[in-house]
Structures are given as C-alpha cells and as structure tokens.
Amino acid sequence: MKKDNSPARGHRDLLPDDVQTRDGLLAAISGVYARYGYRRIETPALENIERLTRGQGGENEKLIFRVLRRGLPPTIEATTPTDSLVDLGLRYDLTVPLTRFYGQHAATLPFPFRSFQFGPVWRAERPQKGRYRQFHQCDIDLIGEPGTLAEIELIEATVEALITVGVNRAVVRVSDRRFLAALAATLGMVGASADSFFVTLDKLDKLGWSGVREQLVLSGLAHGGLNRIEDIVDTLVATRPEEIPNAIADAVPALADHVIDDLNHTLRAAAAIPAMGDDAATVTFDPTLVRGMGYYTGQIFEIGHADSTSSIAGGGRYDDLIGSTMGRSVPACGFSIGFERIVDLVTLSAAPTRLALLAEPGLDPIRLAALARGLRENGPPVVVIPVRGKWGTQLSRLEEEGFTSYMHVRPENLDGTLNHEERPLRRP
Amino acid sequence: MKKDNSPARGHRDLLPDDVQTRDGLLAAISGVYARYGYRRIETPALENIERLTRGQGGENEKLIFRVLRRGLPPTIEATTPTDSLVDLGLRYDLTVPLTRFYGQHAATLPFPFRSFQFGPVWRAERPQKGRYRQFHQCDIDLIGEPGTLAEIELIEATVEALITVGVNRAVVRVSDRRFLAALAATLGMVGASADSFFVTLDKLDKLGWSGVREQLVLSGLAHGGLNRIEDIVDTLVATRPEEIPNAIADAVPALADHVIDDLNHTLRAAAAIPAMGDDAATVTFDPTLVRGMGYYTGQIFEIGHADSTSSIAGGGRYDDLIGSTMGRSVPACGFSIGFERIVDLVTLSAAPTRLALLAEPGLDPIRLAALARGLRENGPPVVVIPVRGKWGTQLSRLEEEGFTSYMHVRPENLDGTLNHEERPLRRP
C-alpha cells in the first residue's frame, strides 16, 4: 500500500540538482575564506539544553527542538516539570557552539583564531513558504583581534565570497552599537530602554518615522527628543561618505573619538575594496542599522540585495561573549552569510556532461564493467543502464534525466573488434 | 568565571585539521562515485518518530534521540505515556530516510536512480573510546536495478573509492542471504529460527565452532545437523574461487541455480577489477558472512582491513524495502562506507602553505588590506596578524600553528617603494 512519504512538517529533501548547487556555492565560498586563513571547524548538532537557554539566543530560544532524556519510564507521572524530561537540544545557531568550542579548545588553537563554520541549525518556526525548520548557516569569525583589522577583513572576505558566487551589487551597511547607545543617551535612554529604542528604530524601513515615533511614545520611551533623533538620522543618511566621521562627531558629541576613528577606518577601507570601485558592491554608513542579537558590542554590518527582501549577510563585533565562559576577556567579530538566501539568488549551474551506456541483456558482466571503466577513466561520468522498454522512449527519458550522450552496447560490439559509437542525446 | 565547555556527553568537536582530513576524504570519495553517475541527495536530520520505529532499524531503534513535541505545558499535569510526548526523532541511519525520499520523489528521479548520501546520524549508544553519538555515514544505493550489474558496480566503485583515499589491501567478502537461508533449511530452520541461526553464525570469527555450536544448542536451534553445517562451511572456505559455484551447488542442492549464477557473476567480475590484480584489494566468498540488518534479500558484502577491528564497509541487496511505502516492488542494492573508520585509517594530509603578514601597529588599514589582497590573489592563504609580544616567541608560535612563511610589514615598507621580503618559517 502506498504510504505518505513527506518529510516531517516544515522540513524538506534536497534533490541531486539542489545538492549540486549548494555544494558548488559552498566550495566557492570556502575557497575565498581559505585564502584569508579561515579554517573550518565542526561542532555537534546537539548541545546540553542549559547551554542553549542562557538568554544569548533571544527569541530563538523559544524555538529549540528539545530532546528527551534517555531511559525515561514508559509513563510520566503527574505534576512532572516538562523541563526535567529534557537534557539536550538541537542548536539554533552556530555562535553558541562556537563560544563553547573556543572555550574548550583555545589552548590548542592559533591566536588570533579564524573560524569558518558551515552547518545545519534547527528552529521550530511556524512553517512558511521558502523557510524551513532545518537550514544552513555559514559563519566566519575572527577571535582574538581587538582592532578594525577584523571588521575590515570580514567585510572584504564576505563581499569577495558573494561576488565569487555571482551575487553582485550587494549593499554593505555599517554602523556601531556604541553610536546607537550614545544616540539613545541623548534622549535619556540607557540600558533596557535603550535596547527597546534600538528594536523600534530597526523597523524604520517598514514603519517610517511616524510609525517609529508612535511606537516609541506608546511604550513611554521618548517624547520631546524625537524630532532631534529624526533630524540626526536624516542628516547622517544625507551625508557623503567621506564626511560621515565629522557629521557623527557633530551630531553625537558624547561619542568617544576612537569609536568615530574606528568607523572611519572601516568605511574607508571597505570603500577601497576593488569590487566597490566597479560597482559590484557598495558600502554605506546606516544610522538606523541595529541587528537583532543582544550580544553585539561595537561595529555591526549587514548586506542587502535588491533581489532579496531580507538581508543576505550580517554580523558585527561581540567582545563579551567568547570570554564569558573562559574567565577572561576575548575580543571577537563575526560575519554570517544567509546561505539559504544566497541559494535562492543564484542560478543553477549547467548540468554536467554524462554518458549513458545502454547495455543489451545478457552481456558478459566483466567485459561490460571493463568498457565502462575505460570510458570513465578520463572522460565524463559513465552510467550503465540496461536497455528496457521502447528504444525511443528510453532515449527521450535519458535526455530528460540530463544525459548528454549514449552508447549502445550489444554482444557483437563488446568483444573489442568493433568500435563503440558515442551519440549525442541533446538536440542541437 | 571559567565554565565547563565540553561538548554534550558522547559528542565531540572537530578541529581544523580534523575537518580538513574529512573534507579531503569526502571530496575523493565523491569524485569516484560521481564518475559512476551517483549524485548526492540530502534528507533532514529529523524524521517523524513513527517512521523511525517500524522495526526496520532493529536494535538501533532503541538508541533514537527523541524530540519533545512543541507547545507542551511547563508541567505534565496527568499521568502521560512518554511516547505521546514525542513526535520527531533524529535519524539513526541513512537507509530509512532514503526509503522515504525515494517514495516521495520517484516520479522526478532518474530510473534507475543512483543515490549518494553523506551525513550525520545519531545513536544514543553508551559512550566509548573512539565511538560517538553523532557520526557520519557514507552510502551509495542503486535503486531500480534487479540484476548483478548493481552488485558488481557497487563493489567496484567502493573498492575504487577506498583505494583513492589510500586504503589498500581491503578484503571484500561476498555471500547471499538466499544461500544462508537454504543452508539453514537443510537443518530444518526456517523463518525466525533461521534468523537466529544467522545471528549466531555471524559470531563464528569471535566464538569459533565450539562457541557457535554451544549457542545454537542452548537456544534449541540445532542438534545433529551441526556437523554437516560445519563441514559445508569448512569446505567452502577451503574452495578456490573459480570452483565456488560448483561447490555451493554440491553443498546446498536446494539452492536455486540463478542464485549460484548471480554469485558467480559477482565474484568473477569483482575479481576482474584491475585493483584486485595488483593486490590493492582481494575478493572472496565467505559462507559465514551474515550482516546485521534484517532487510537484506540477496547478495551481501562486507569489506575488512587488517588495521581495523571492525568492517570498514558493508552492504547488500534489499529488494523489499524501497517498495514497501510505494505499493509496488522496487529492487535496490546499497553499499555503505564506515566513514569514521576510514578517517582512523588514513594519515593526515600535509598542512598547506600559509603566509603570515606580521603587521606593526598603526599601519594604514587600506594599504595593509591592499598588500594582503595582492599576495592572496594567486598565492597561498595570507593571514594578517598584528605584531605582539616577543618577536621570537611570536615566530615560534606561528611555526607551531602551521604557517610556512612570514612577511614583516612596517610603515616604511608599506608605501610601495620598498620590497616586502617573504621569509620561510619552517626549519629546513
């Protein structure tokens, strides 16, 4: 009887063409990152549940797939706390595991350490079109570098990776959490209320100023000072790149000089990447850029693209996270490519050349294998397929399946005295 | 405060050298399988729990990591069956997902379909040295091919893959479940008692004949006929390869001729693989080979190696599994490489050439990035590292970290008028 063979709800299978595209993208991105000295590491999919629920993941922590302890009895007694049944969870990002990894292996790793990660993460999100509960993240992180060398390198490497896979005209937006904090402070907002201010400001592109204003007033965060914020942001958005540092210093006098110098360094160096010159990418200061996660401490960046409604890469400096499990301070900066979004942006590579060896029944298996072996040696992939059904139908199907040529193997041409003729399948 | 940063119990992290070895192995194996027309697919790590607990996985089903339903209350109020709290599980192999995958996508896949899978599976086994709860499997399967073309191709491709990654002198052992069934039938054992006989026979290499005999008698399976079984097996083990078909026909007259013909085909064709000639691998008929899983229906094979206590690859024909969810019969045959065992067998590839750009403080970031970019373009990976601490100590550490050369970048040689001198780090 035919049964339902769908994947679990919110999940998907990857067919050969899907995997080929993804493998190609990964190889190209890996190649770029390797030239910058980033080396790939891997951590397990499962982490202890306490590690995943320390607040670092924000809203994502509500979406964890939790794993039942082994050895539980067949029946759970009444009034058992659900949490007590769980000891592991599937990771929801690659940053929590990286923090654990670095804390565990720092002594045997280079310093500074350039980490590249590519792997699946899981979130029990409401299934929706084009978004899945298992998806891949692609992160590079530079751990141990306190200066803008990190930010500059991460931006250049990521832009180069995007261009290498054919994603052109990316827009890199840069800001700094310390700039945002100083901006909030001018309105008297510090700590938690500054955080809420950031979250609302982050929605400016969706809500517009009137919407942002409304939300801020509703949440009792801001009143009279809002005009000033709006002015500052509008002014900075209209400022030419080379005048940004002075404009920021004028607008937010409380901001430390070294923060402005760092921003200046990053913006100038990013603008000097050759790709920026020929319009393959652009870089800009964005005073409304916030980034969701709470752990950023310095510069933040995001890459957008006209063909993608959400950002295609994002990252920033997070100096307090890695050291939090190590009893000492370790600066760190990271950039994550939204791998699934890139997959949607790029076009499929052409199907490879493939030869079908159409074998008549009853051929000597040793000779048939030897023929295939010889053709395979320096040629395209060779696939042995028994002749079956109508000849024309089989040839049409092979063509549909992506074969580019075939060879008809009969007993009389397997003895080595006759030439085997390779015929094209694709119509010219 | 320093915290425990170990991975979850029974799990491990993969360091850059580990990942490099594994990536290299995978690339080599993929390359071989691609030439035979196998294309990679991927299925999700999570499957519906009912699919994982249909008995197909035997003992492995007891080792499933089970995932808690989402949306459960904080407290389990009433006495509840544990099973009702679970809706998903982590896959324990790649065969259950392949069966689902093929059932779901058969209409859009080539026929026959050559599948290659590489991915993690999870088993909550008692942690022990060198074995982990998450590990990778590497499977090829030929679905839709009823004849020995499948067995012969799978054996050749797998042997070639092993030789390509440097695993030589592999010993391929071949048998057939139908031969074993006929052997058991001569002792009057059919169905479940035949299965128990197989399981015991499988331990011959550990228990010897006296141990096997003891177990069979203890479990009430066999009595007088055991001498005959021992004679048959001993005779077949001593038989020269080319005489195996006749010897089997003599020993087990009830066995159908076409089973013997098929075995003859596979053994002859496997022996004719060029690698077998120059001793890179050998193939042999093994009347005591059983293979653990219950789903095999025809020929079975296993590859052993002198340096590995357990087998390094195994597989066989399973004609009833794929079709079981599709309402029609679909022949299939597969071969799985024990990826983690291969990792243990091969030696690490040499570290790549890497250049450290040692940057003095205060360099212009744009010029520094440009220098690195130019060196990176057609050269080795270039890693920018600020000068810090004692010069000699830093150089020694770079050498330990695998850098092969360095370049000292000072303000006076960054202006383009002085040459940058690359110096070797490795002592000759």
Whether the predicted pLDDT of B417 surpasses 60? no
Query: In sequence order, what are the residues at sequence separation of 6 or more whose Cβ sits closer than 8 angstroms to the Cβ of residue A165?
Result: A25, A28, A29, A342, A346
Contact A43 B1 (CB under 8 A): no
The DSSP 8-state label assigned to residue A347 in this structure reads: P
pLDDT tens digits, one per residue of B126-151: 878 878 999 999 999 999 999 999 99
Compare all CA atoms of chain B with the CA of A379 and give the residue at the minimum distance: B35
Whether the predicted pLDDT of B428 surpasses 50? no
Q: How many CB pairs under 8 A join A and B?
A: 277
In chain A, what are the domains? Answer: 16-42+92-345 (3.30.930.10), 46-90 (no CATH), 355-424 (no CATH)
- 8 A C-beta contact, residue B306 and residue B276: no
Rounded to whole angstroms, how far apart are CA atoms A211 and A217? 10
- 8 A C-beta contact, residue B356 and residue B398: yes
Query: In sequence order, what are the residues at sequence separation of 6 or more whose Cβ sits closer than 8 angstroms to the Cβ of residue B309?
Result: none
pLDDT top residue among A280 and A93 = A93
What tokens were used for A407?
């060879």
What's the confidence (pLDDT) of residue A257? Answer: 95
Positive/negative CA dihedral, B184, B190, B196, B199? positive
**Residue A310 corresponds to which amino acid?**
S
3-state secondary structure of A201: helix
3-state secondary structure of B318: coil
pLDDT tens digits, one per residue of A211-238: 888 888 887 766 667 788 888 989 999 9
Contact A45 B122 (CB under 8 A): yes
pLDDT tens digits, one per residue of B30-52: 999 999 999 999 999 999 999 99
Contact B45 A41 (CB under 8 A): no
Whether the predicted pLDDT of B15 surpasses 70? yes
What's the confidence (pLDDT) of residue B285? Answer: 95
Best to test chain A binding among B6, B12, B41, B42 (most A CBs inside 10 Å): B42
Q: Give chain B positions within 8 Å (CB) of A45.
A: 45, 90, 120, 122, 134
Whether the predicted pLDDT of A125 surpasses 80? yes
What's the confidence (pLDDT) of residue A193? Answer: 79
Contact B101 A5 (CB under 8 A): yes
- Of A43, A77, A382, which is closest to B35 when you measure between CB atoms? A382
Rounded to whole angstroms, how far apart are CA atoms A5 and A208? 46
What's the confidence (pLDDT) of residue B70? Answer: 94
Contact B47 A7 (CB under 8 A): yes
What tokens were used for A169?
């005209």
Contact A385 B112 (CB under 8 A): yes
How far B208 CA lies from chain A's nearest CA (Å)? 35
What's the confidence (pLDDT) of residue B212? Answer: 86
Going by DSSP bridges, is the β-strand pair B134-143/B332-337 parallel, antiparallel, or unpaired?
A: antiparallel
Best to test chain B binding among A5, A29, A367 (most B CBs inside 10 Å): A5
Confidence of residue A419 (pLDDT cuts 50, 70, 90): low
Confidence of residue B217 (pLDDT cuts 50, 70, 90): confident
Q: Kindly tell me the number of DSSP H helices and DSSP E strands found in chain B.
A: 14, 17
**Residue A416 corresponds to which amino acid?**
G
How confident is the model over B322-342, as a mean pLDDT?
93
How far B14 CA lies from chain A's nearest CA (Å)? 5
Compare all CA atoms of chain A with the CA of B147 and give the residue at the minimum distance: A386
Q: What angle do helix axes B204-218 and B226-238 make, rounded to 10 degrees?
A: 160
Q: What angle do helix axes A226-238 and A204-218 make, rounded to 10 degrees?
A: 160
Compare all CA atoms of chain B with the CA of A146 and give the residue at the minimum distance: B386
Length of chain A as a residue count:
428
The DSSP 8-state label assigned to residue B360 in this structure reads: P
pLDDT top residue among B173 and B401 = B173
Residue A249, CB-side half-sphere exposure with 13 Å CA sphere: 13
Q: In chain A, what is the straight-line distance between the N-terminal and C-terminal CA atoms, in Å?
A: 43
- For the CA atoms of B180, B186, B191, B197, the dihedral, rounded to the nearest 10 degrees, stands at -60
Contact B37 A100 (CB under 8 A): no
Whether the predicted pLDDT of A428 surpasses 50? no
| pTM value surpassing 0.90 | yes
3-state secondary structure of A122: strand
What's the confidence (pLDDT) of residue B193? Answer: 79
Confidence of residue B420 (pLDDT cuts 50, 70, 90): low
Contact B42 A108 (CB under 8 A): no
How confident is the model over A127-155, as a mean pLDDT?
94
Whether the predicted pLDDT of A29 surpasses 50? yes
Rounded to whole angstroms, how far apart are CA atoms B404 and B420? 16
How confident is the model over B62-89, as a mean pLDDT?
96
How confident is the model over A293-302, as a mean pLDDT?
92
What tokens were used for B296?
């095999």
Q: Which residue has the tokens 């499933």?
A: B64
3-state secondary structure of A186: helix
Confidence of residue B176 (pLDDT cuts 50, 70, 90): very high
Compare all CA atoms of chain B with the CA of A88 and give the residue at the minimum distance: B8
Q: Give chain A positions within 8 Å (CB) of B90.
A: 45, 67
- Of A37, A134, A369, which is closest to B46 when you measure between CB atoms? A134
Rounded to whole angstroms, how far apart are CA atoms A98 and A93? 9
Contact B13 A83 (CB under 8 A): no
How far A351 CA lies from chain B's nearest CA (Å)? 12
- 8 A C-beta contact, residue B88 and residue A8: yes
Q: Give chain B positions within 8 Å (CB) of A34.
A: 381
Which alpha helices (H) appear in A187-323, and where do they start and end? 192-201, 204-218, 226-238, 244-251, 257-271, 274-277
ipTM of the complex: 0.93
pLDDT tens digits, one per residue of A63-104: 999 999 999 999 999 999 999 999 999 999 999 999 999 999
